[in-house]
Structure 1
Amino acid sequence: MATLLHIDSSLFPAQASASRAVTEAFRRTWEEQHPGGTVVYRDLAADPVPHVTADGFTAGLADPDTHTAEQAAAFEQRLRLIEELEQADAVLIGAPMYNFTIPSTLKAWLDNVILFGRTAGDAPSAKGTPVTVVASRGGSYAPGTPREPYEYVLNYLRDVLGTALALDVDFIVPELTMAPHNPAMAELIPLYEASRTRALDEAAAKAKQLTERPAA
C-alpha cells in the first residue's frame, strides 16, 4: 500500500495560501490514483515540530545504549519524523518563501530528519524517494529577473533534499502570488493567474506521473 508524506508549512489557511492550494491539488490526484493508499500529513504551522535540542543532537551521534533519559526522549521525537520519511513512497512539501527563504517550521523539520549515518551520509536511508516541493513566492526570482540573487529556497532545498538526503527532487513554482494584494503589482495579475493555473496543472500531472513510476 502506497504512502504519501504530505507536509505543509504555510502560515495561512488553504483558502488564502498559494502553496496549500497546489499541494492539495497534488494530494487529491494522488489519492485518486491510490484509493487504498495512506497519507501521513503534517501541518507545521498548526502543529510545529520541536527544534532540535542539544540532547536531540548529541543523541544522534551516540550509541543508544549510552543515552541519558533526556537524550532518549529527545531522540524518540526525531526518530518518529525520520521513520515517516523512510516509510514514504513519495513526499510532498509546501515551501512558501518567507523573507527570501523557507519557513522556520520547515527548517526545524529538516533539522530533525537529517541524521548523518542514517538519512544522510554514505548510504541515505530514503535515497531515491521522489519529493515534490511546491515553492510559492510573492514575486519572481526566476533566472534573469532582478531578484534572482535573492533566491534561497530552491537552491537550499535542492542541496538539502537532493544532496544531503539523496531524494529525487522536483519543484513546482507558483509565483507573483502577491499581485492580487499589492496595488503596485496589479499589472502582473494575469501573469500570476497563469502561474497559478500552470502550478495546479503541474501538481496533478506530477501526482499521476509518480503513479506510473517504476518501483525502485
Structure 2
Amino acid sequence: MTVLRIDASIQGPRSASSELADLAEAEWLSVRPETTFVRRHLGADPLPADAWATAIHSQFVPEEQHTQEQRDARALAASLASELQEADAVILALPLYNYGVSQHVKTWIDLTIAGSVPGTALLEGKTALVLTTRGGGYGPGTPREGWDHNTAYLRRIVADVWGADLTLIERELTLAGVNPAMDAFIEAAELLKKAAHEAATNAGRSLATR
C-alpha cells in the first residue's frame, strides 16, 4: 500500500498541522508497517507559481510549437496528477493562511487538476485524511466567524472533485501561547489540541484498516 502525504506548513518543526500528520502516520504504520509513504512538502519545497498558467496556455498551442517552459509545466502537472491517482490513500496537512488556502497549496491543486483528464475523480473510492489548523478562532459567535475560506474549499476539492472518502480533522487557536494577545485562550487551546491529537491518532489507526 502507498500513502501520499502532503504537508504545506511554513513553520518547519513548529508546525501544528504536520504534528497532526505525524501522529496519524505513526499510528497508520503501527497497524500496517508495510505501507510506503510518498512525501511532498509544499511549504519547504514549493512548486513554481507560474507553472499552472503555463500548462493551461499550452493547451491552446499545437504540441510541436510548445516552448521548453510549456513542456516542463505540462510534465509537472501530469506527474502531480499521477502521483495523486496512484496513491492508495492520502494524508493532507494543509493549514489555513490569510483566511484561506495558501498560495502553494492552491498551486498544487491547480496543477494536479490541469494534469488530469477533465472530470477524472483522482481519489475515487480512496481514503483521504485532511488535517487543517488555524491560528485563531473562527467558530460561531467569534469575531472571525465566516472568515475561514480554507476548510470548505478543501472539502469541495478532495471529496467532491477528487471523489475521496474524506475524514477531516481541524484544530483552532494554535497561536495561543505564541501571540500574547491570545493568552486568554491558552486553556481552551490546550483542550482543542488534545482533542485534535486524539482524533488524528484514532484516524490513523482506523483508516489504515480500511
Please confirm whether the aligned pair reaches a TM-score higher than 0.5, indicating the same fold: yes
- Aligned residue in 2 for 1:41: 39
Deviation at 1:9, TM superposition (A): 0.7
User: SS state of the match for residue 173, structure 1?
Assistant: strand
Identify the structure with the greater strand proportion.
Answer: 2
- Aligned residue in 2 for 1:206: 203
- In 2 relative to 1, CA 162–57 (structure 1 residues): closer, same or farther, beyond 3 Å? same
Could you say what the CA RMSD is over the residues aligned between the two structures, in angstroms? 2.2
Provide TM-score, normalisation by structure 1. Answer: 0.87
Deviation at 1:124, TM superposition (A): 1.8
- Aligned residue in 2 for 1:86: 85
- In 2 relative to 1, CA 63–203 (structure 1 residues): closer, same or farther, beyond 3 Å? farther
User: SS state of the match for residue 114, structure 1?
Assistant: helix
- Aligned residue in 2 for 1:139: 136
Task: Report the AA paired with residue 106 of structure 1.
Answer: V
Q: Does 1:21 align with 2:19?
A: yes
User: SS state of the match for residue 85, structure 2?
Assistant: helix
Deviation at 1:100, TM superposition (A): 0.3
| Aligned ranges 1:185-204 → 2 under 5 Å | 185-204=182-201
Provide the C-alpha distance between the structure 1 equivalents of 2:6 and 2:199, rounded to a whole number of angstroms.
18
- Aligned residue in 1 for 2:48: 50
Post-superposition CA distance 1:143-187 (Å, at most 9, x none)? 443322101111111112222222222211111111101223222
Deviation at 1:64, TM superposition (A): 9.2
Task: Report the AA paired with residue 195 of structure 1.
Answer: L
Provide the C-alpha distance between the structure 2 equivalents of 1:69 and 1:63, rounded to a whole number of angstroms.
10
Contact 2:136–2:173 (CA under 8 A) maintained in structure 1: yes
Contact 1:117–1:124 (CA under 8 A) maintained in structure 2: no
User: SS state of the match for residue 114, structure 2?
Assistant: coil
Deviation at 1:63, TM superposition (A): 10
Deviation at 1:67, TM superposition (A): 6.8
Provide TM-score, normalisation by structure 2. Answer: 0.89
Aligned positions, number? 208
Identity, % of aligned pairs?
33
Task: Report the AA paired with residue 34 of structure 1.
Answer: R
User: SS state of the match for residue 149, structure 1?
Assistant: coil
User: SS state of the match for residue 76, structure 2?
Assistant: helix
- In 2 relative to 1, CA 73–184 (structure 1 residues): closer, same or farther, beyond 3 Å? closer
Deviation at 1:80, TM superposition (A): 1.3
Provide the C-alpha distance between the structure 1 equivalents of 2:116 and 2:42, rounded to a whole number of angstroms.
26
User: SS state of the match for residue 32, structure 1?
Assistant: helix
Contact 1:64–1:72 (CA under 8 A) maintained in structure 2: no
Q: Does 1:161 align with 2:158?
A: yes
Deviation at 1:73, TM superposition (A): 2.5
User: SS state of the match for residue 5, structure 1?
Assistant: strand
Provide the C-alpha distance between the structure 2 equivalents of 1:27 and 1:38, rounded to a whole number of angstroms.
11
Provide the C-alpha distance between the structure 2 equivalents of 1:117 and 1:107, rounded to a whole number of angstroms.
16
Provide the C-alpha distance between the structure 1 equivalents of 2:150 and 2:159, rounded to a whole number of angstroms.
13
Post-superposition CA distance 1:91-147 (Å, at most 9, x none)? 1111111110122111111011113862x52x4232132211111011111244332
- Pick aligned residue for 1:184 from 173, 181, 188: 181
